[in-house]
């Protein structure tokens, strides 16, 4: 947990609101492999990381709620009886969406103050939105003793993303935030939410995120279109193979049977999802065997599919992945929804500094802007700060 963030939020409460807050630590997440498979009810391999949103909560005696986003230097008031959506892309929608979900369950929500600050880069594909959403529902559950289960909190946060942020995401981000385990990645089945904790013992190897600083806004991108394309492909497959539970459940052989019935774009989207789902299974074996070279190969394969078949990459992401391949990084791929954000890299620890320096110089020359590099470690999930 970040002590500086905790102190920042606590100090604001004490100085500006004259009260002691209930504090929540809510982590970001990485996804080792398994991109765009979550909303196709497939397999993913995420983990919570040591980047956080720290949120403070306190009841108030006013007739409205006060919300303060310290990093943005923005605040607003909310009337719990008049919850309305803000414009597309506003961070305020995450707050409104969660409050709406809690009220829909008929729970005794009263007026409160919320202050949050974090070091999760916004728009980098590390799930800052899920960290905020979960911190709100988790914190209010503690503050007002609402009795919500993790599954209920998950549903409220996902629906906030769908209905208020406008992103038709899967469950992976919110689930990982709620269930993360220090030192373990989650081999997660997004169909039935069953999961296995897989220890990640990297020793002389490091997970490194490199942020393109191209901020994606998924609600305004082709993200939701990809979901529709996958859904249409699955409907064709389901007619031919009624036993299929989801697109991720299909085989490449089954996809070839219906290829002539699908537009080329839909075929490519389906092919990527099926291949990616298989890569997650192979990655599990590689991690258990500590075969980091094999895992690295799978990361490169994943990026190729995301670029060529799923078409959610961008020039900056491709440049960084190509640079990683040419600098003997074990593996690299774009991570998150796409169209910007971060690459995730598997690299020897003693090569991190040289690679980051080289990447920063060449990226600046190519695009005229800077990258940001974040070595990350696997942390636990959301928790109350005692």
Catalytic residue (one of 38, 81, 151, 173): 173
Tokens representing residue 72 in the block: 């943005």
Q: Which of 161, 11, 9 is nearest to 70 (CA)?
A: 9
DSSP bridge partners of 184 = 181, 199
Residue 221 φ then ψ, to 5°: -110, 180
Q: Are 54 and 117 in contact (CB under 8 A)?
A: yes
Where do the H-state alpha helices sit in 198-351?
A: 223-240, 252-257, 264-288, 292-308, 315-326
Sheet holding 74-78, edge to edge: 74-78, 65-69, 112-118, 46-59, 22-31, 383-385
d(CA 318, CA 277): 22
11, HSE (Cβ side, Cα atoms, 13 Å): 8
DSSP bridge partners of 187 = 196
How many CB atoms are located within 10 Å of the residue 163 CB? 16
Distance of CA 76 to the CA centre of its chain: 26
Q: Which of 333, 363, 359, 362 is nearest to 346 (CA)?
A: 333
Task: Please say if 264 is a catalytic residue.
Answer: no
Give the active site residues.
173
């Amino acid at each position: 947990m970040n002590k500086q963030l905790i102190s920042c939020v606590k100090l604001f409460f004490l100085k500006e609101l004259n009260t002691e807050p209930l504090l929540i630590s809510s982590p970001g997440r990485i996804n080792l492999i398994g991109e765009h498979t979550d909303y196709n009810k497939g397999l993913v391999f995420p983990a919570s990381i040591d980047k956080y949103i720290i949120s403070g909560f306190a009841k108030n005696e006013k007739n409205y709620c006060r919300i303060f986003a310290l990093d943005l230097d923005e605040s607003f008031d909310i009337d719990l009886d008049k919850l309305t959506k803000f414009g597309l892309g506003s961070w305020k929608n995450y707050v409104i969406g969660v409050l709406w979900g809690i009220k829909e369950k008929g729970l005794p929500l009263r007026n409160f103050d919320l202050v949050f600050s974090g070091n999760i880069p916004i728009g980098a594909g590390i799930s800052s939105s899920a960290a905020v959403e979960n911190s709100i529902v988790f914190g209010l559950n503690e503050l007002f003793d609402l009795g919500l289960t993790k599954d209920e909190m998950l549903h409220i946060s996902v629906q906030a993303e769908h209905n208020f942020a406008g992103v038709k995401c899967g469950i992976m981000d919110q689930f990982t935030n709620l269930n993360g385990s220090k030192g373990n990645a989650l081999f997660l089945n997004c169909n039935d939410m069953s999961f296995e904790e897989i220890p990640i013992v990297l020793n002389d190897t490091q997970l490194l995120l490199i942020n393109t600083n191209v901020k994606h806004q998924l609600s305004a991108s082709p993200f939701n279109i990809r979901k529709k394309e996958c859904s249409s492909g699955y409907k064709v497959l389901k007619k031919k193979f009624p036993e299929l539970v989801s697109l991720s459940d299909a085989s490449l052989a089954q996809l070839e049977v219906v290829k002539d019935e699908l537009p080329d774009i839909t075929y490519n989207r389906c092919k990527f999802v099926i291949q990616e789902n298989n890569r997650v299974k192979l990655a599990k074996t590689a991690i258990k065997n500590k075969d980091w070279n094999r895992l690295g190969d799978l990361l490169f394969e994943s990026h190729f599919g995301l670029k060529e078949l799923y078409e959610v990459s961008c020039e900056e992401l491709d440049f960084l992945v190509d640079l990683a391949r040419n600098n003997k990084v074990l593996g690299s791929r774009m991570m998150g929804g796409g169209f910007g954000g971060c690459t995730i890299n598997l690299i020897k620890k003693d090569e991190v500094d040289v690679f980051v320096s080289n990447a920063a110089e060449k990226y600046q020359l190519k695009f005229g802007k800077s990258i940001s590099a974040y070595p990350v470690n696997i942390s636990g999930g959301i928790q109350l700060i005692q």
